[in-house]
A and B are shown apart, each in its own frame.
Chain A
């Protein structure tokens, strides 16, 4: 094997990292979907406080860089808790787990993007469907669960796919808080093997592979979701 391709046994480090990257991505995506549904509900609800909270959430989160938010949560949250508890006379010390902090922050950030996706998707469901559901006597909750929620996915999938693509790339930022995902592990490998270009290039190819697999998965899911729709 040529010298610049010899990873000196650090290849497994990269594959372990890739696995953790996918896990982190999936967990954050789950959080972002839950937050996105809540946010869309807040934006579409007929309640001023809910509108305000959801509006502020999406405006602020989409206007601040991910890295700043990650550092704010990872370093800022423990000191904030300490300061508040000190003011209250108690002595609390918390040490955030990088996995939990990373997943929650990424999920929180992309929840704002999912909010916009779900808002659009809920509005795209035919009004007649809701009217029909109400006319047969369904309550608001039942109508949401049986009519809106199942039909909304078809419109939300393309947008959610985009969110996922950006999200999986954003997980590389969690390497800053020392979580051993793909980026962090390729960093370790790069330092140990003194082959930075090789290691980072391999890492970038793994990210590219994840993107390609996601693209194919997205096509399949859209095909599945649209199977009831007649094409012109």
Chain B
């Protein structure tokens, strides 16, 4: 048996096009999800319960239920409200599997990211907040200049994990007929009966994607915490 089975080489172009879809879905949901997560996290730390409770419920629901249920809820569940969605003009979006997939993944990652950010915002040292207050900063300015930058730095390692989990979670969109890497692999393997060859190939592609994300995010982390690294490597520094 050759090292790489022929069927894998033959279907490599299609596997790679599936990989591209996987990367697209991941990038879309990560970026939109992050934009959504910041306001959700800010709502979560608000002192007003009318603001913090909805955000808490959103996070708890999306973190406490399986992603597969959420995907089915949005993709198949929207079918129960066709009439309503048609009158609002949203049905053209909800009937597309791709749209539903990205929407669900975005909401899901927004909930997880908001939780990570909340932890980070609460971990910002109190002295820094006092200092910015002493300089006369207003709350929005303080969040923009002091709290959020610090929180992002603190949250980065956990956020890296979340992005890796999201990349793996995109494999679920194949169940609602989106042709991502897993979807393409399922179709080709069902036709050719080369199940383990193709799924091992897909697994290796996922591994490569995961470790490239880890590599890129570590580099960014290195840049984000540049000021700490310098201090760490300083010879004979005071403790």
Contacts from A to B (Cβ < 8 Å):
4, 60, 63-69, 71-72, 75-77, 79-80, 169-173, 175-176, 183, 186-187, 190, 194-198, 200-201, 203-204, 207-208, 211-212
Contacts and interface: CB of A to CB of B under 8 A. Distances in A.
Interface stretch (B39-47, B119-127, B131-139, B166-174): B166-174
A71 B69 contact: no
Contact of A207 (B64, B78, B168, B199): B64
Contacts of A183: 66, 68-69, 72
Q: How large is the interface on B (under 10, 10 to 19, 20 to 34, 35 or more residues)?
A: 35 or more
A72 B64 contact: no
B79 interface: yes
B113 interface: no
A192 to B, nearest CB: 13
A194 B64 CA distance: 25
A80 B67 CA distance: 30
A208 B206 contact: no
A200 B77 contact: yes
B207 A60 contact: yes
Contacts of B168: 64-66
Q: Which 9 A-B pairs have the closest CB atoms?
A: A76-B196, A197-B77, A172-B66, A65-B171, A65-B168, A72-B199, A196-B76, A169-B66, A197-B80
B97 to A, nearest CB: 14
Contacts of A72: 195-196, 199-200, 203
A169 B194 CA distance: 29
B70 interface: yes
Residue with the highest number of chain B CB atoms closer than 10 Å, among A71, A170, A183: A71
Contacts of B200: 72, 76
Contacts of A69: 203
B182 A67 contact: yes
Nearest to A199: B77
Nearest to B198: A76
B148 interface: no
Nearest to A166: B165
15 contacts: A60-B207, A63-B207, A64-B207, A64-B210, A65-B182, A67-B171, A72-B196, A173-B66, A186-B69, A196-B73, A197-B76, A204-B66, A207-B65, A207-B66, A211-B64
B77 A196 contact: yes
A170 B67 CA distance: 9
B72 A187 contact: yes
B202 interface: yes
A79 B193 contact: yes
Nearest to A209: B64
Contacts of A190: 72, 76
Given A65-B182, A207-B65, A197 B78 contact: yes
Given A67-B174, A68-B171, A172-B68, A75 B182 contact: no
Contacts of B196: 72, 75-77, 79-80
A79 B169 CA distance: 26
A75 B199 contact: yes
Given A66-B168, A195-B80, A200-B76, A79 B65 contact: no
A194 B77 CA distance: 10
Contacts of A173: 66, 68, 172
Interface string B183-213: 0011001000111100110110011001100
Interface in B56-70: 60-61, 64-70
A80 B193 CA distance: 11
Given A173-B172, A195-B80, A196-B76, 8 more contacts: A63-B211, A64-B210, A79-B195, A172-B68, A183-B66, A183-B69, A200-B72, A208-B61
A99 B195 CA distance: 20
Residue with the highest number of chain A CB atoms closer than 10 Å, among B61, B193, B202, B203: B203
A134 to B, nearest CB: 33
Contacts of B186: 71
A77 B76 CA distance: 31
